[in-house]
Chain A
Amino acid sequence: EADIYQTPRYLVIGTGKKITLECSQTMGHDKMYWYQQDPGMELHLIHYSYGVNSTEKGDLSSESTVSRIRTEHFPLTLESARPSHTSQYLCASSNSGSANSPLHFGNGTRLTVT
């Protein structure tokens, strides 16, 4: 039932490679977010966007970058992957209409850097 899509679902990559994690939503939501989640751990907000050409860093410092050129698309890029980047990355979106709008999550990308 997800209207927010993340690709790839799993990625194993070597140290030093550049990677882009894709996130797209079809709900027309203005707000989009990236969370990092280690296994069995809490979610940490690493990036968010409140609209096209708007991006902000989240609560957890991250070496990744994001862009928001289109409303529906919010990719996350790591220029040079390291083993410390191994984690699950969750993308989410929400409607900016009211503060009680919940977040809608994608199924995540599990990244392993060897």
Chain B
Amino acid sequence: AQSVTQPDIHITVSEGASLELRCNYSYGATPYLFWYVQSPGQGLQLLLKYFSGDTLVQGIKGFEAEFKRSQSSFNLRKPSVHWSDAAEYFCAARFGNEKLTFGTGTRLTIIP
């Protein structure tokens, strides 16, 4: 079955440190891939998306993600996190014309 997996439920990093959030998908072909961020009490905001072309995509708020076909992964990265990056992050994929499938989310905590 098609699925999106975010292996890390909760990650804590120090302010200014680098960040990588993992996302893997299970599907026979390359899906359309998305990363969303959700601040407490808010809806989801799109950070970036990938559907073809350059495997390194840039998003808003200084985030980037790299698609690796061989690993079925689409990991989100940021070189230096800020306290305002503390939030829940969701990876999502659309397989063909199916509805969007979300991962279970990774909660990011930033410590001073």
Show the binding face of A for B, using Cβ within 8 Å.
2, 4, 6, 33, 40-43, 45, 48, 58-59, 90, 92, 99-100, 102-108, 110
* Cβ B105 vs Cβ A99 within 8 A: no
**CB-CB under 8 A for A108 and B105, given A48-B99, A99-B94, A103-B100:** no
With A and B bound together, what is the CA distance between A106 and B41 in angstroms?
Answer: 11
* Cβ A102 vs Cβ B41 within 8 A: no
In the complex, 24 of the A-B residue pairs with CB atoms within 8 angstroms, ordered by the A residue number, are: A2-B43, A6-B43, A40-B105, A41-B105, A42-B105, A48-B99, A58-B99, A59-B99, A90-B44, A92-B43, A92-B44, A99-B32, A100-B32, A100-B51, A100-B94, A103-B46, A103-B92, A105-B36, A105-B44, A107-B41, A107-B42, A108-B42, A108-B43, A110-B41
Count of B residues near A, CB < 8 Å? 24
Apart from A42-B90, A48-B99, A103-B44, what are 19 other A-B pairs with CB-CB below 8 Å?
A6-B43, A40-B107, A41-B104, A42-B104, A45-B99, A58-B99, A90-B43, A90-B44, A92-B44, A100-B49, A100-B94, A103-B92, A103-B100, A105-B43, A105-B44, A105-B45, A106-B43, A108-B41, A110-B41
Show the binding face of B for A, using Cβ within 8 Å.
32, 34, 36, 41-46, 49, 51, 88, 90, 92, 94, 96-97, 99-100, 102-105, 107
| Shortest CB distance B36–A (Å) | 8
With A and B bound together, what is the CA distance between A105 and B88 in angstroms?
Answer: 15
Residues of B with C-beta under 8 A to A59: 99
Specify the chain B residue showing the minimal Cβ separation from A88.
B41
Specify the chain A residue showing the minimal Cβ separation from B45.
A105
Residues of B with C-beta under 8 A to A103: 44, 46, 92, 100
Specify the chain A residue showing the minimal Cβ separation from B42.
A107
With A and B bound together, what is the CA distance between A50 and B88 in angstroms?
Answer: 28
